[in-house]
Chains A and B, each alone.
Chain A
């Protein structure tokens, strides 16, 4: 009764409606195995797995990530099952593979990132034609939710860490509080309204080519400034947030600046390139030694790691250079709201091209 078609009034064979009771049993089965991040999973069968594997030239056995400390490797086969479970469509799989490669290329992720008390979340950035081809959200609500590729691709990475690497909360994963949206952050750059080159181009992949970049983040803080026509006022507002002492634990930090189109266009109209915005903020983002000291963090205001305290009056810069402040443009051009994304460790910014099936 469930599998066969039923006869319509005109005698046509129409597909039977899926059996919800069977679907629920399959979903519960996945929960019982301990595979879920808390939300329902898509139970994966061999035909679905094959559809994923068919989107890539990679061998299912190819190892695409290793975590030496937990003694586990992840291969294409496991990535495909977890991506399917996360709710990805098969055609998203090359993006999942590129995102995982980009993330595992970062030292912070290969080190203790997934086990950390910081509970960091991947930030995945997608550039190029694949954004439109797969239906990524490139406009309003860039950080989600509401769009299948943006929502399911980072979830696939989260499930891969849980099931592939075996890093479970309260056991090998020791997040103190974690952050909202962990395993949910995948933004597609608003290249159409950005006044600058695509982000992936800064990471080594030419504009017009689909590519993914990824890092770990500790949180994101909004800067809402729709109050001034003066671009330097807005930069000062960003600088204030970047230098916030609560987010600083080492002498140097990294942030990703996710600018809304309105702010980005304002800076560009003032003649600023991405590099100009970066340099303006690098020079000015930080606090005085006294401010650090008053919060018990004098050791953070040192010249580099294990360096000397710079003194009460000395202004302590927290960004080392352009790689400490990558600039991305995302969101709708409907309000002047940008985001300072706190990077966990450092971000090389390397972009990984989305593999095409030959």
Chain B
């Protein structure tokens, strides 16, 4: 009987490895809701999210709170997640336009959803594989987020606003219960 060839791969060992992370319940509409903007500090992320927020204020009379991510490359610490859950009914985060920050946006999304807050994470199209991989790793395979074309960092102010307007419907669709559907939880 020859010796077996040993497996060099690790397994997910920490608390990140949640099984089937639950998705938060959605409100029927964003009307009058408290929207948290979780800005990841990447170039143009702030004006992008501010414009999304401004459009939501106009359309749905939402109130905005803003936070800057502690470190764009890694998911938010537990205390920030707790504070976000307390201060916002829904959260919009982004813009994931790099290897680590797109993955972190997806991870933040999954964690906040499990804590009961619907999230719309915005990432650029170049990073779909890494966002999907991170979501699966966090127990939410098939996790849905909004995408915008890559790149975002080099856009002028006007173009950023245009992009924000274009992604708005997807963001809203991610945050509210689609008409006629039943709560998943």
Contacts and interface: CB of A to CB of B under 8 A. Distances in A.
Interface string B59-74: 0000000000001111
Please provide the 7 A-B residue pairs with the shortest distance between their CB atoms, ordered closest to farther. A112-B100, A71-B16, A112-B73, A174-B99, A45-B3, A115-B99, A115-B100
Given A29-B5, A43-B5, A112-B104, A73 B10 contact: yes
B109 interface: no
Contacts of B72: 112
Given A43-B5, A69-B73, A117-B99, 12 more contacts: A35-B9, A69-B100, A71-B13, A73-B10, A73-B13, A111-B100, A112-B104, A115-B100, A164-B10, A166-B137, A174-B98, A174-B102
Size bin of chain B's contact surface: 35 or more
Interface in A156-210: 159, 163-166, 170-175
Interface string A191-232: 000000000000000000000000000000000000000000
A336 interface: no
A82 interface: yes
A123 B3 CA distance: 35
Interface stretch (B82-90, B125-133, B161-169): B125-133
B6 A45 contact: yes
A112 B102 CA distance: 11
A46 B4 contact: yes
Which of A44, A69, A170: most chain B Cβ within 10 A?
Answer: A69
Contacts of A68: 14, 16, 74-75
Contacts of B156: none
B18 to A, nearest CB: 9
Q: Is the interface of B mostly helix, strand, loop or mixed?
A: loop
A29 B99 CA distance: 30
A74 interface: yes
Interface in B100-158: 100-104, 107, 127, 129-130, 133-134, 137-138
A164 B8 contact: yes
Contacts of B98: 112, 116-117, 174
Given A115-B130, A163-B8, A72 B13 contact: yes
26 contacts: A29-B5, A33-B7, A43-B5, A44-B5, A45-B3, A45-B6, A69-B73, A69-B74, A69-B134, A71-B138, A73-B10, A73-B14, A81-B6, A112-B73, A115-B73, A115-B130, A116-B99, A116-B100, A159-B8, A163-B8, A164-B10, A166-B10, A166-B12, A171-B133, A172-B130, A174-B130
Nearest to A165: B10
A69 B103 contact: yes
Interface of A: 26, 29-30, 33, 35, 43-47, 49, 66, 68-74, 78, 81-82, 85, 111-113, 115-117, 159, 163-166, 170-175
B17 interface: yes
Contacts, number: 116
A33 B9 CA distance: 10
Interface of B: 3-17, 71-75, 98-104, 107, 127, 129-130, 133-134, 137-138
B159 to A, nearest CB: 15
A36 to B, nearest CB: 10
B10 A163 contact: yes
B3 A46 contact: yes
B154 to A, nearest CB: 9
A69 B104 contact: yes
A117 B151 CA distance: 13
A69 B16 CA distance: 8
